[in-house]
Homo-oligomer: A and B are copies of this chain.
């Protein structure tokens, strides 16, 4: 039996518990052992939950239990998520996270700590929900071949921009505020939508993808970030008139001199680019390699169960490979290498 602890029993944590329960037989067949949720750390109570007896408030119980081999951090926010992850790795426990804030700010350090303590730090759920992105970027491409990544990384803003574009196509008036309110009604936007509409969420994700593709972690606060709040009805109308679409694009590229460029900005995307057809809450990431050509990964970038499948794929990866430490590319800090000029527009014309 492989004992794990979940940190956080919210949207992703409860989804993870559900997926692990629903597919327990199939997972055990692949892993060759049962996965058992021994603890769930959450400050709230969940009376009536089938996991009620395993919910605890004190993380130290997890930390001091040598039976726990995998800690799954799904708290969100930097603290205590980062601190608990660091402590778990230093105690030789494998850590899995869905927390893009922690990975984009501390991922280099946590990966180094994992390597130093003979354990692993896996982050598939931190970008793109259920879309397999992190593992393919780490294991399915030829190192050094990728020169650019560009993606629609935030479903909320893509939903809002899609609604505005549809209004423009139908010749109706375009009000961003109404589109945001509609996204909130549908549960696609939070009550305070600023992290999405200001580009903060997309910025954290492009920071992580940059590190995976180029081995260089650029802190999110060093990435030029423009959200969608400045987009006007006229921007949308004139893009539509040219047959194009306005999309919030996170982009990273490796310059010829080895420096890394990264940005988030609304862009006009022509219909020849497959990202222009990615609508509503869907996400998509374009990976460009010299030998590879263009490859795109597409799917729902959020949601309880899709994101939980990414968490569970990391649990299976670790549980299937207990005692084996796959080679891991560490990330360098690259603040000084950051440049605010893209090598070329790659077909994405910034607004």
Contacts and interface: CB of A to CB of B under 8 A. Distances in A.
Contact of A143 (B15, B26, B143, B294): B26
B29 A143 contact: yes
Given A25-B144, A142-B313, 20 more contacts: A19-B145, A22-B291, A30-B143, A130-B292, A135-B139, A135-B140, A136-B136, A139-B313, A142-B309, A274-B277, A274-B298, A291-B308, A292-B305, A293-B303, A293-B305, A294-B299, A296-B297, A298-B298, A320-B327, A321-B324
A29 B316 CA distance: 26
Contacts of A329: 29-30
B297 A295 contact: yes
A141 B312 CA distance: 8
A264 to B, nearest CB: 22
B291 A141 contact: no
B327 A32 contact: yes
Contacts of A324: 321, 324
A155 B305 CA distance: 33
Contacts of A294: 299-300
A292 B321 contact: no
Interface of A: 15, 18-19, 22-23, 25-27, 29-32, 124, 130-132, 135-136, 139-145, 274, 277, 289-300, 303, 305-306, 308-310, 312-313, 316-317, 320-321, 324, 326-327, 329
Find the residue from A22, A145, A306 having the highest chain B CB count within 10 A: A145
Contacts of A274: 277, 298
Nearest to A314: B140
A328 to B, nearest CB: 9
Nearest to A32: B327
Contacts of A308: 291
